[in-house]
Amino acid sequence: MEQIRTKVCVVGGGPAGVMHGLLLARAGVEVTVLEKHADFFRDFRGDTIHPSTLEVMHELGILDDFLKVPHEKTPTVGARFGEFETTVADFTHLPTHCKFIALMPQWDFLNFLADYGKRYRTFDMRMQTEATGVIEEDGKVVGVRATSPSSPTPGEMEIRADLVVAADGRHSTIRDVTGFVSEELGAPMDVLWFRMPRNPADPDRTTFFFEAAHIVILLNRGDYWQIAYIIPKGGLEHLKAEGMDAFHRQLIQIAPFFRDRVSEIGDWEQIKLLSVQVDRLKTWHRPGLLLIGDAAHAMSPIGGVGVNLAVQDGVAAANLLAAKLRAGTVTDADLAAVQKRREFAVKVTQKMQVMIQNHVISPLLSETDDLKPPLPVRLADRFPMLRRLPARIIGMGVRPEHVRLSEDPAALAEPTTGR
């Protein structure tokens, strides 16, 4: 059995895990990040990189390089209720370097972070390595057990660490095997996730379409649309029973410019069901173990804030723990400080999401008459300054985090001369 010793073992190569591991490694803390897949290329729930995350990239000094990765800029977000169309969020007034949302496939975002991490000898990213359980001694988590076909001795391996950080998503293995219990907040909807070719004559901005009993979000990915089609919880079987032709007609009703290409969606295998859940742990930690990101709190897709809250968790945890990890003095109280720092933002954001789910999304999905825009939308249309409030909440979040850690030159894998 292969055995590895490191300061921190991060389980999960998503936004929270990679960002957290990268920041710790940059600060001189030895980190091993485990990602169970061989690559990042698969459909994710979140492809929106918000101004708060772009600000973190600026603070790391890598924003210019990051913006060279193909993406689409979204300075405003629109909404259409029947024939009424308006702007509901305007990011151009935010006090950030990037006054827009970057629409980018999450695999490109993660590949960029992982490649950036390679400049640090303290950053060890292990793909195709799946954590299966934790190692405990005297009531403390001291490492994880994992499997990897690419290890020197394929099969089981042990990674011993001063701290294990579980960032392995809403279906967290580490959370399950350690007995953490989540509080379910409920979600009345699911999301169908698929893509459609985009023509040059199509609209060019991200837009929410509201029709009677239908909500669709179109994300401009340049040469194609990424589409989020909102349905009532458990409603996929009903759609399938109505048939693909009926689904095509619904798409055309919502976005008539799809008429010439709706047949590109030929069967249900092209559509991925994203089951929406909103939950959070009462406690995010135990001795030797910290949970962050979706492993600690699964977010609703409302506002597209999940990726960015995960990044904020990773930044806050690194800020609070790096010095203690270098000194070898991390205690459970230090882990509790991470939860205390991030829990307020999570609770407030989830409260707003649940309120919108219950009082806006659910009624709209059951509406059969022609829709009229809600009062807040009509007010934002009449008074453009009101569009700044949702932009601030979505773009920056409740408690935006900033990089407080300096780069440790000794952590670099190569000399700084010429860089």
Helix (H, G, I), strand (E, B) or coil at 376: helix
Distances (CA, A) of 282 to 84, 184, 226, 346, 347: 42, 11, 34, 12, 11
pLDDT of residue 407: 96
User: pLDDT tens across 108-153, in order?
Assistant: 999 999 999 999 999 999 999 999 999 999 999 999 999 998 766 6
Q: Which two tokens stand for residue 57?
A: 């990239």
Contact 31, 408 (CB under 8 A): no
Locate the domains of the chain by residue range. Answer: 2-71+101-185+277-359+398-411, 189-232+234-275
Report the top-level CATH class of 2-71+101-185+277-359+398-411: alpha beta
Helix (H, G, I), strand (E, B) or coil at 60: coil
Distance of CA 321 to the CA centre of its chain: 22
Task: Tell me how many degrees the CA angle 345-347-348 measures, rounded to the nearest 5.
Answer: 65
pLDDT of residue 2: 86
pLDDT of residue 214: 80
Q: If you search the block for the tokens 């009345």, which residue do you land on?
A: 188
pTM of the model: 0.92
pLDDT in tens, the chain (419 residues): 789 999 999 999 999 999 999 999 999 999 999 999 999 887 666 789 999 999 999 999 999 999 999 999 999 999 988 788 999 999 999 999 999 999 998 999 999 999 999 999 999 999 999 999 999 999 999 999 999 987 666 678 999 999 999 999 999 999 999 999 899 998 889 999 999 999 989 988 888 888 777 889 998 888 899 999 999 998 999 999 999 999 999 999 888 899 999 999 999 999 999 888 899 999 999 999 999 999 999 999 888 899 999 999 999 999 999 999 999 999 999 999 999 999 999 999 999 999 988 888 888 888 666 677 888 899 999 999 999 999 999 999 999 999 999 999 999 987 544 33
pLDDT of residue 417: 41
pLDDT of residue 44: 62
pLDDT of residue 88: 93
pLDDT of residue 387: 96
To the nearest whole percent, how much of the chain has pLDDT over 90?
A: 75
pLDDT of residue 119: 95
Q: Which two tokens stand for residue 23?
A: 């920041």
pLDDT of residue 364: 81
Contact 144, 36 (CB under 8 A): no
pLDDT of residue 373: 84
Contact 239, 231 (CB under 8 A): yes
Give CA–CA dist 317/404, Å, rounded. Answer: 11
